[in-house]
Structure 1
Amino acid sequence: MVFSLKICGNYGMGNSTFYKWRDKFGGMETSDINRLKELESENRKLKQMFAELNFKSLLQEEIIRKF
């Protein structure tokens, strides 16, 4: 507990933030964290692609309805 208070004080972080971070990443190796970052990045890209394709599909449907 003293260790977490020192870290929080040094970096201006709240205790709850520290414990959430520790619970999420505490048991991970560096390679696990890197893989998680890669997956999060890929997920963002896929969500963006889906949004763009969905938008294009809606535009096409609107165009078809007008004819």
Structure 2
Amino acid sequence: MSGTLRGSEGGKFVPRKRYTEEQIGFALRQADAGTPPAEICRKLGITEQTFYRWKKRFGEMGVAEIRRLRQLEDENRRLKQVVAELTLDKVMLQDVVRRKS
């Protein structure tokens, strides 16, 4: 997601930063150790909404599990794109065959 635009602040677009699995794991471990979420968010430069989204999504996962989940999500996204492209190709070919018949 790095380099994509997520919104604007004061009329300027703010680039979206993709945090590493280590950073996410660190943030969640800090919260488990008793550090207030607001302090963690300030240190990482994230919103509390982002922190709680990470907490809900990754919960008790370790860094390796977070990394694997992200890899699987990326692979799933790529495979869905391939399926969509192949489906479109199939529809186009069926249309050509119908016209020739």
- TM-score scaled by length of structure 2: 0.57
> Which residue is equivalent to 1:42?
75
Question: Which of 55, 61, 64 is the equivalent residue of 1:22?
Answer: 55
- Is it true that 1:61 corresponds to 2:83 in the alignment? no
Quick one: higher RCO (CA 8 Å, sep 6+), 1 or 2?
Answer: 2
Structure number with higher strand proportion:
2
Runs of 4+ in structure 1 off by over 3 angstroms are none
Given residue 92 of structure 2, which amino acid in structure 1 is its aligned partner? L
Q: Secondary structure at the match of 1:37?
A: helix
* Whole-Å separation in 2 of the counterparts to 1:34 and 1:17: 18
Deviation at 1:2? 5.7
Alignment RMSD: 1.8
Question: Which of 22, 40, 44 is the equivalent residue of 1:11?
Answer: 44
Segments of structure 1 that go 5 or more residues without pairing to the other structure are none
- TM-score scaled by length of structure 1: 0.81
- Indicate the larger mover: 4-13 or 49-58: 4-13
| Structure having the higher Rg | 1
**CA deviation map 1:12-32 (0-9, x unaligned):** 322222112112113001221
Segments of structure 2 that go 5 or more residues without pairing to the other structure are 1-33
